[in-house]
Amino acid sequence: MIKENLEKIRATVPEGVTLVAVSKTKPVSDVQEAYDAGQRIFGENHALEMRDKHEALPTDIQWHFIGHLQTNKIKYIIPFVTLIHSIDTANLLEAVNKEAQKHHRVVDCLLQFHIAQEETKFGLDLEEARELLESDAFRQMEHVRLCGVMGMATFTDDMEEVRKEFRHLKSIFNTLKNDYFAGQAQFKEISMGMSDDYPIAIEEGATMVRVGSKIFGIRSKK
């Protein structure tokens, strides 16, 4: 079914929007099946799980980290990660920078914003992002490269609320682009939208969608 699911989703994702196949909790064999169907970009939210899958699977896979990243786990993913979507504090970005330096890498990252109504979802607000971007510490970080923003909408059936939150993230992106990244081509990504809301996210300007269960099936709760 994975191949069929992927084909269905691809038909709804326009050119220029990157599909991140979220394979968290799913076995290596499922990732391989998606790989065989042509998928090369996968998202994971646990560092050790991502490392183990990276070691077991083809080397041309691009691994995106999409979950809350604990500082002591950064080292497991820095050697190979393609994009970290979930930078939610200045300290985390600094710690990623430090680890990337050890590996002589410049690691691409997105700033995660809190756009949902739930208290539990991680992320910055605009003021915190400004503080980070205007800090001396940030200016000295030569081993991370900010490429855009990420957010998760409220878990709700109210699609108008979800749309409003995606618009909010897009406006945050526009503000940051204008104030800090004008003329910097790499700052272009808006990562928003999951299985149930990615079509709305695309309508509202997503450049990356993160789709799990619509490709791999429902996850059993851990």
Ligand X SMILES: *Cc1c(COP(=O)(O)O)cnc(C)c1O
Closer Cβ to ligand X, 141 or 165, answer by number: 165
**In the complex, residue closest to ligand X by CB:** 212
Choose among 37, 30, 173: nearest CA to 115.
173
Contact (Cβ atoms closer than 8 angstroms) between residue 85 and residue 64: yes
What is the closest distance, in whole angstroms, from the C-beta atom of residue 55 to ligand X in the complex? 22
What is the closest distance, in whole angstroms, from the C-beta atom of residue 43 to ligand X in the complex? 7
Kindly calculate the radius of gyration of the chain based on its CA atoms and give it in whole angstroms: 17
Closer Cβ to ligand X, 83 or 141, answer by number: 83
Closer Cβ to ligand X, 84 or 141, answer by number: 84
Contact (Cβ atoms closer than 8 angstroms) between residue 206 and residue 197: no
What is the closest distance, in whole angstroms, from the C-beta atom of residue 170 to ligand X in the complex? 17
Closer Cβ to ligand X, 129 or 211, answer by number: 211
What is the closest distance, in whole angstroms, from the C-beta atom of residue 209 to ligand X in the complex? 9
Q: Give the burial string for 47-84 (b: 16+ CB within 10 Å, else e).
A: bebbbebbeebeeebebbbbbebeeebbebbbebbebb
Choose among 151, 152, 163, 148: nearest CA to 204.
163
Residue numbers at the binding site for ligand X (CB under 6 A): 22, 24, 45, 66-67, 152, 194-195, 210-214
